Structure formats: structure tokens, C-alpha cells
């Protein structure tokens, strides 16, 4: 497509469509990755069972007993990764999680979004903010 012949509003529409498509592709990729992990886990479980052992006997050997028991109890020390969003007009402004920063609250209110509604916050982030790649 020849973007030079498009007007600014047409370019903006194209950009918004591409951003929506990117978000859908990211979701599809994450779903594929989760499915691939599940398949690997099923293969490993089958190998362990085929060898005549229980998963609980082998996992501590793979992870180390302390890490295995921490994960089993829900106290994993693995770092959590949260999506980060940036203001496209000012990349210094970044939001990850927690209380909304003032700049984001103001943007949401300006665009007519309810800052107290979780679904509205998610919709706003996808439409108006740029998802940062890790």
C-alpha cells in the first residue's frame, strides 16, 4: 500500500487497525506458547510414568527440592512479568500495574473511560497506549 497518498486521518485509521491486529497476534502467540508448554508437560509426565515413577519423585530432582516445594506451596521465587504500556506521545510515561498514574487517569477521563472499571482500563490500554516489548 502506498501510504504517501493517504490523508492523515486515513493513516491514523490504518495505524489503529495495525495496533488491533498486533494485539490479536500477541494473544494468539501467547495461546500457542501455552499450548506448546502443555504438550511438553504431557510428554514429560508420560515419560516419567513409562519409567515407573511418579511426577512428585522426579520434579524435585529437576528443579531442586527447595524450589519444587516452594512452587508446590505457591511461593515461587521466579520473577513475575507484567505487561508494560507507554504513552505513545511521551515514552517516558510507563504503566505496568498498581494504582493508575495521574497522566493515565487524565487521558482516560479525557477519552470518556471510567477509571474504576477494569474492562474500560484494559480497552483504553489497548486502544491508546503502546505495549512495550520486554
Instruction: Supply the pTM of this predicted model.
Output: 0.45
**Rounded Cα–Cα distance for residues 11 and 16 (Å):** 9
Q: Which three cell numbers stand for residue 40?
A: 511438553
Question: Who has greater pLDDT, 65 or 24?
Answer: 24
Residue 30 C-alpha from the chain's centroid: 8
Helix pair 8-50, 118-128: axis angle to 10 deg: 120
pLDDT at 124 over 90: yes
Task: Provide the pLDDT for residue 78.
Answer: 62
Strand residue runs (E) in 65-110? 84-87, 90-95
From 84, 77, 76, 133, select the one nearest 104 (Cα to Cα): 84
Q: Per DSSP, what are the bridge partners of residue 132?
A: 84
Question: Which pLDDT value is given to residue 100?
Answer: 93
Check the CA dihedral 70-96-132-124 and report its sign: positive
Residue 74: CB atoms within 10 A of its CB come to 6
Task: Give the strand order in the sheet containing 130-132.
Answer: 90-95, 84-87, 130-132
As a whole number of angstroms, the distance between CA 128 and CA 94 comes to: 13
8 A C-beta contact, residue 37 and residue 43: no
Residue 44 has pLDDT above 80, yes or no: yes
- Domain range summary for the chain, segments of one domain joined by +: 7-72, 84-132
Convert the pLDDT of each residue in 45-93 to its tens digit.
999 999 999 888 887 888 787 777 677 676 666 666 788 999 999 989 9
Amino acid at each position: 500500500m502506498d501510504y504517501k497518498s493517504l490523508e492523515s486521518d486515513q493513516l491514523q485509521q490504518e495505524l489503529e487497525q495495525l495496533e488491533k491486529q498486533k494485539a490479536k497476534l500477541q494473544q494468539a502467540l501467547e495461546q500457542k506458547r501455552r499450548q506448546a508448554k502443555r504438550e511438553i508437560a504431557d510428554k514429560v509426565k508420560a515419560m516419567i510414568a513409562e519409567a515407573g515413577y511418579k511426577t512428585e519423585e522426579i520434579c524435585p530432582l529437576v528443579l531442586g527440592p527447595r524450589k519444587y516445594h516452594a512452587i508446590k506451596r505457591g511461593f515461587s521465587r521466579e520473577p513475575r512479568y507484567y505487561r508494560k504500556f507507554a504513552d505513545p506521545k511521551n515514552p517516558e510515561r510507563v504503566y505496568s500495574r498498581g494504582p493508575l498514574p495521574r497522566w493515565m487517569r487524565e487521558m482516560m477521563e479525557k477519552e470518556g473511560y471510567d477509571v474504576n472499571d477494569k474492562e474500560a482500563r484494559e480497552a483504553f490500554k489497548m486502544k491508546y497506549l503502546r505495549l512495550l516489548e520486554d
